[in-house]
Amino acid sequence: MKLLDLILIAIILLVTCKLSAQPQEYVQNEVIIWLDKGVSKDHSPLLHHGLRPKRVLSKRLNIWLFEYPKGRQGESRSARNENLNRLNSMAGIRHCQDNHIVKSRAVTPNDTHFSNQWAPAIMQLTDVWDDYSTGGTTVNGKEVVIAVIDGGFDLGHEDLLFWKNTAEIANNGIDDDGNGYVDDFDGWNAFTHSGNLPSDTHGTHVSGIAGATGNNSQGISGVNWNLEIMPIAGSSGNEATVVEAYGYVLEMRALYNETNGSEGAYIVATNASFGVDNGDPLDFPIWCGIYDELGDVGILNCGATANANVNVDNVGDIPTTCGSDYLIAVTNTNSSDQKVTNAGFGPTNIDLGAPGDGIFSTTPNDNYGNLSGTSMATPQVTGIIALMYSSICEDFITAYDNNPSELALIIKDHLLEGADNMYPYGLKRLDSDPFLACLCI
């Protein structure tokens, strides 16, 4: 073994010991419960334990946020675990877990003088746009949508095309389309459980990376030039907010499938530029489990890993160590095609790296600026997935109309097969090669 390898292992062990000792944060008087199908939120054993339903997070999956009205401040971790174990053993409960605190994964760059987009060149996107597709629709006319779950969005930005729920009338206080969400014309705000979306620099920046309008003589070009972005506020805060956000995505794609496109949206991917450092998937069964549910309706999910030089295979991370086949875990690379120092890695759990260091993109009020982090790397991948859907030949995509989950896995396989190997982290680097295989699979 080389000396460099020994030093790297020693550093990983030291970092692992340090980070593993950090406690996970959660809302003490709340739990998230995934009930079996048909089980009421007023399930008597839950009421007997003092739990009361606070709000539904996913009606389709029967996931609820429950609270103890008198609070549980000061409760020890061991006592809380005993209580969760009792609840998980009850009939009618699929999962019961903490409502964890969730944080954004942006990093403010040191250098504020970046003025160019370097990522499209390094991913060879100019060749893709010229030879294959600039995005927007599938060859058989489906409007491709990605769902960006983040802190907020500048819905009026000159260089962004946000999806609209045209079956809903804005601000009339009525659930016009009957999807369970009132006034969701612009999308959904899982922070306030309403259709009123806040503005936010991070979410606007992430959206521009994946889908800023291209070739319009202003601003920048996203990975896609004509991509519809479904804005959902619900990234940081607590886990119940995240589950509610994903629940909205699931509902809209499921409706699209069930109505042959007359309702909902053709969402092909979600973007999560947030997470929980050192999170153990065993403590997050609902968050991790919802990725399989999203995959079943045809959605791939891109997740940003930690902004720290740690092996997440050892220390854990949410969402990027969740075990779903429909999750793509992303780390951060720089303009030299190297992993950024302060970015997570893991040969088992991290699928690939993408440009995320000093990325120039959209910011509120028709402005533009640079941000860095795994937050910026992840929408590169989300955008590529949408671009791949717009490149598939008609016979192939039509053949999978009734099996969208299998199509999603095929897209993922081609994405990862087309990526380049990147050493010494056991990672792959995002590249445009998958288009060569995916145009007519």
d(C-alpha 275, C-alpha 2), whole Å: 34
What does CATH list as the number for 105-438?
A: 3.40.50.200
- Among 130-134, 213-217, 275-279, 312-316, which is the least confidently predicted range? 130-134
pLDDT beyond 60 at 28: yes
Number of H helices, E strands in the chain: 13, 18
- Among 18-22, 25-29, 134-138, 307-311, which is the least confidently predicted range? 18-22
Confidence of residue 426 (pLDDT cuts 50, 70, 90): low
- Gyration radius from the chain CA atoms: 21
Q: What is the pLDDT of residues 331-361, one digit of tens each?
A: 999 988 899 999 999 999 999 999 999 999 9
Percentage of the chain exceeding pLDDT 70: 86
- Among 125-134, 315-324, 407-416, which is the least confidently predicted range? 125-134
Q: What is the pLDDT of residues 377-391, one digit of tens each?
A: 999 999 999 999 998
- Among 15-29, 192-206, 377-391, 406-420, which is the least confidently predicted range? 15-29
Confidence of residue 106 (pLDDT cuts 50, 70, 90): low
- Among 42-51, 153-162, 414-423, which is the least confidently predicted range? 414-423
CB contact at 8 A, 381 and 305: no
Q: Which residues are bridge partners to 428 per DSSP?
A: 421
Confidence of residue 218 (pLDDT cuts 50, 70, 90): confident
Strands 52-58 and 63-67: antiparallel
pLDDT at 71: 65
d(C-alpha 250, C-alpha 233), whole Å: 15
pLDDT at 103: 87
What are the residues whose beta carbons fall under 8 Å from the beta carbon of 38, sequence distance 6 or more?
62
Q: What is the pLDDT of residues 168-216, one digit of tens each?
A: 999 999 999 999 999 999 999 999 999 999 999 999 999 999 999 988 8
For the chain, the domains span: 26-101, 105-438
pTM over 0.85: yes
pLDDT beyond 70 at 23: no
pLDDT beyond 90 at 229: yes
d(C-alpha 379, C-alpha 303), whole Å: 9
Q: What is the pLDDT of residues 288-307, one digit of tens each?
A: 999 999 999 999 999 999 99
In whole numbers, what is the pLDDT of the chain averaged over residues?
87
The DSSP secondary-structure symbol of 221 reads -
pLDDT at 114: 30
pLDDT at 437: 43
pLDDT at 17: 32
More confident call, 373 vs 77: 373
More confident call, 135 vs 150: 150
Q: Of 73-87, 91-105, 316-330, which one has max mean pLDDT? A: 316-330
pLDDT at 123: 79
Q: What is the pLDDT of residues 251-281, one digit of tens each?
A: 999 999 999 999 999 999 999 999 999 999 9
CATH of 26-101, picked from 3.40.1800, 1.10.150, 3.40.190, 3.30.70, is: 3.30.70
E strand map for 278-377: 300-304, 317-318, 327-333, 352-355, 359-363, 367-371
Q: For the residues 398-422, what does the mean pLDDT come to? A: 88
330, two tokens: 């992303």
pLDDT at 309: 96
pLDDT beyond 50 at 10: no
More confident call, 22 vs 233: 233
Give the closest residue to 136 by CA, choosing from 188, 214, 233. 214
